[in-house]
Amino acid sequence: MTKPRASVTIRDVARRAGVSVATVSRYINKTGPVSKAVGERLDAVMEELHYVPHAAARKLATHKTFTIGLLLSDIGGDFFAPLLRGIEDVLASHGYDLLIASTRKPRRWHGKSLPVGPHNTDGILGFADSLDEDHLRRLMAQHFPLVLIHRTPPPDLPIPCVTIENKAAAHAMTSHLIEQHRRRRIVFLQGPPGEEDSHWREIGYRRALADHGIPFDPGLVMRGDFDRDVAFATIEAALRQGIAFDAVFAGDDESAEGVLAALHVHGIAVPEEIAVVGFDDQRMSPYLTPPLTTVRAPTEMVGRHAAQRLIELIRDGTTELMTLLPTQLVIRRSCGCPDRGGDDS
Amino acid sequence: MTKPRASVTIRDVARRAGVSVATVSRYINKTGPVSKAVGERLDAVMEELHYVPHAAARKLATHKTFTIGLLLSDIGGDFFAPLLRGIEDVLASHGYDLLIASTRKPRRWHGKSLPVGPHNTDGILGFADSLDEDHLRRLMAQHFPLVLIHRTPPPDLPIPCVTIENKAAAHAMTSHLIEQHRRRRIVFLQGPPGEEDSHWREIGYRRALADHGIPFDPGLVMRGDFDRDVAFATIEAALRQGIAFDAVFAGDDESAEGVLAALHVHGIAVPEEIAVVGFDDQRMSPYLTPPLTTVRAPTEMVGRHAAQRLIELIRDGTTELMTLLPTQLVIRRSCGCPDRGGDDS
DNA sequence: CTGTTAGCGCATTCAT
DNA sequence: ATGAATGCGCTAACAG
């Protein structure tokens, strides 16, 4: 076994193959003509030496990193797996690496410097409220490729974003509860303060109430934080306080799970006494008791589109500003509809 | 607004501050003495110019990337969020970046080249069966820092690994079902073929049966694949075939969810007629109907420890070979125990 | 088709 | 305490 040199470089390959480094580089990057014979020699030598180009050196010379950064406000939640999956898949298929960074307690980054940026990536994907407006403006001023996920940019900043149709779906869901199931006192469970998805879902909910002549009762809008525990506690409290309601539109499926549990503990029948619906259609949702009626959010697709937008932005310098992915109602048992005998996924 | 130079380099900072690049470098890396006055000048200039050292250049010069790679066999499953969270958190606190790569259809990488390695990272974290033995051997031959997660290395390869106590917990859980709830025909739902956790859990299950004088019935060991749908289908099939059983030890919580749903659909009472238990204690588990008795797997801790081990390996050249994290029974309702009135998390 | 050479941005001796 | 010079591994003109 030969003494394991720190690493084998392009020069080692060139020397061993009896050519210049330029030729090796050209061959590797297909950036110029190389005779077939030499090409084969190189393949053999590279294989023999286990040569792998040093990424940093290449990046330095090229000024392209072929890696993109993903900024998260917090890893956790069943939400991230499909999103990540979508992102990683399309990035990989285009030869890009994925650098991940997440905040802890505070939902956003504070100081001046972001963990990813022009110094180590070709572009960044910003999830929800992980970036504050200052960052957005600075990045734009530097003309650094950036696309937002589940968040729209400030009106004056032309930053591409990909998110989902929340309002229409929330409107449809609320209307379903009102029209099909005669519910009139529908609780709405909000997401974290300032969360954009939650905001639009609430708008849709309110609009549906108005469209059906049902007066809006602020007392029926409660905290859910997109969190099982918080939703559980909120519903328990509402029950104890004797607040009257005949349905709950949970901000997302995770909080719907908390709602279901709280009602179950109190011996309240779902959907007979109180109907419950969610938003997201996570993998667990068909398996809840009763199976959850919800809105399907194409989370993996959001990831795929976001990655695609960013790659276009990097390559072409431009891409669509707004990608709004459609959502659709998924009717199961928890709203009061009869069992349809199978799942529709 | 000044013409946005492609990027501001250390030379711009040096010039603006009237010092040499060496001084700037020394100051940034605290690698040598710099007068207080100059230090302050530099702080001001760097702030003013929004200077950020170019990662690739630094890496080239230093031969350290301060990046670690995470190899996944497949992103997805509620399992990854906490794992990732743990990994990302400790890496970030040590100044390391996280590069993620995942396989698609096949669970492992095939060809010679891995997406991460000595060319772009300082070490790699390999989850479960994402790496085959050839990769392991090559990486070891190159003395490249590597730690395995939820997987032990081949006997002759001294690769550090961090995983959890499966066997004892599975034994305890099975014994609980036998002793406390008089169950004797316990179905065991396996994980994906070759999955190491599943293997040990099954060993524990079998041992418990033997310890209680219950003959092992191969017909009670079925496929679960750690997947809700697969588990659902498996239990439905077993029911249709009239296979008699009074309990199900699902390989993990996700498959337990499928089991619960299948039994519910068939009008079978849990835990009265059939007891169900899982493994993992995922966030949704207390919210299932009935609340799931399971084994708590410290998944985020596994991530934290793995990252810690890798950092030690990189810095000190050595670390513990085996980190076995403890698990514990979490008794809730699905096994037949009475409600304890609150959650113990 | 192929070789020479000059950087890329930064860390690091070696002087001073 | 500070500066000048060299090189990390690779790409990209520019010659030939």
For residue A188, the distance in angstroms to the closest alpha carbon of chain B comes to 20
| CATH superfamily entry for domain B67-163+301-325 | Response regulator (3.40.50.2300)
Contact B141 A113 (CB under 8 A): no
CB B130 within 8 A of CB B161: no
Contact B301, B86 (CB under 8 A): yes
- Using H for helix, E for strand and C for coil, what is the string for A21-56? HHHHHHHHHCCCCCCHHHHHHHHHHHHHHCCCCCHH
Residue with smallest Cα–C1' gap to D5: B22
Interface test with B, best of A75, A102, A236 (most B CBs within 10 A): A75
List helix spans (H) across A119-227. Answer: 133-141, 167-179, 196-211
B265 CB burial (10 A radius; 0-12, 13-18, 19+):
middle
Chain A residue with Cα closest to B75? A85
Closest CA–CA distance from residue A281 to any residue of chain B (Å): 14
Residue A345 banded pLDDT, cuts 50, 70, 90 = very low
Which nt sits closest to A36, CA to C1'? Answer: C1
Asked if residue B25 keeps its beta carbon closer than 7 A to nucleic acid strand C, the reply is yes
A141–B67: do the CB atoms touch at under 8 Å?
no
Average pLDDT over residues A323-332: 98
How confident is residue A14, by pLDDT bands cut at 50, 70 and 90?
very high
Question: Residue A309's Cα: distance from chain center in Å?
Answer: 14
First to last CA, chain A: 55
Q: What is the mean predicted confidence (pLDDT) over A94-110?
A: 86
DSSP 8-state code for residue B154: P
* Residue A269: per-residue pLDDT: 97
Average pLDDT over residues B316-333: 96
For B149, the enclosing helix (H) or strand (E) is strand B146-149
CB contact under 8 A, A257 and B65: no
| pLDDT at residue A279 tops 50 | yes
* Whether pLDDT at A315 is above 70: yes
Write down the CATH number for the domain with range A167-298+329-335.
3.40.50.2300
> In the prediction, which pLDDT does B67 show?
97
Q: Residue B256 has what pLDDT?
A: 98
CA dist A220 and A223 (Å) reads: 10
Whether the CB-CB separation of A262 and A231 falls below 8 Å is answered with yes
In degrees and rounded to multiples of 5, residue A320 shows phi and psi of -60, 145
Across chain A, mean pLDDT equals 93
Q: Is A64 helix (H, G, I), strand (E, B) or coil?
A: coil
pLDDT band at A3 (very low <50, low <70, confident <90, very high): very low
How far apart are the C-alpha atoms of A22 and A167, rounded to whole Å?
57
Please list every residue in chain B whose beta carbon sits closer than 8 Å to the beta carbon of residue A75: 81, 84-85, 88
pLDDT over 70 (residue B324) = yes
Check whether A2 has a pLDDT greater than 70: no
Identify the pLDDT of residue A75: 84
CA/C1' separation B23–C14 (Å): 15
Chain D nucleotides near the protein (CB, 7 A): 1-5, 7-14
* Spacing of C-alpha B47 from chain mean position: 39
Residue B59 pLDDT > 80? yes
Instruction: Return the closest-CA partner of residue B343 out of B292, B299, B300, B297.
Output: B292
Contacts of B138 in chain A (CB under 8 A): 50
A17 Cβ within 7 A of any nucleic strand C atom: no
Give the phi and the psi of residue A255 in degrees, each rounded to 5.
Answer: -70, -30
Helix H or strand E encompassing B37: helix B36-49
> Counting Cβ atoms within 10 Å, is residue B342 exposed (0-12), middle (13-18) or buried (19+)?
exposed
- Set of chain A residues whose Cβ sits within 8 Å of the Cβ of B50: 112, 138
The pair of structure tokens assigned to B221 is 């060991």
- Look at residue B107 in the predicted model and tell me its pLDDT: 73
Instruction: Give pLDDT tens digits for A126-152.
Output: 998 899 999 999 999 999 999 999 999
A23 touches strand C (CB under 7 A): yes
Domain pair B67-163+301-325 / B167-298+329-335, same fold: yes
Architecture of domain B5-58: Orthogonal Bundle (1.10)
The mean pLDDT value for A272-289 works out to 96
SS3 call for A94? coil
The set of residues, in sequence order, having a beta carbon less than 8 Å from that of A7 and lying 6+ positions away, is A54, B118, B119
ω into B193 cis (within 30 of 0): no
Residue B238 to residue B216: CA distance in whole angstroms: 17
Domain residue ranges in chain A? 5-58, 67-163+301-325, 167-298+329-335
Query: In this predicted model, what pLDDT tens digit does every residue of B148-193 receive, in sequence order?
Result: 999 999 999 999 999 999 999 999 999 999 999 999 999 999 999 9
Q: Please give the nucleotide, over all strands, whose C1' is closest to the CA of residue A23.
A: C2
Contacts of residue B112, Cβ cutoff 8 Å, sequence gap at least 6: A47, A50
Distance A174 CA to D2 C1' (A): 71
Which residues, 6+ apart, have CB-to-CB distance to A82 below 8 Å?
A299, A300, A303, B76
What's the whole-number mean pLDDT along residues A162-190? 98
Confidence at A344, pLDDT banded by 50, 70, 90: very low
> And the tokens for A249?
């539109």
- Which of B239, B235, B238, B273 has the alpha carbon at shortest distance from B255? B235
Report the distance separating Cα A25 and Cα A316, nearest Å: 25
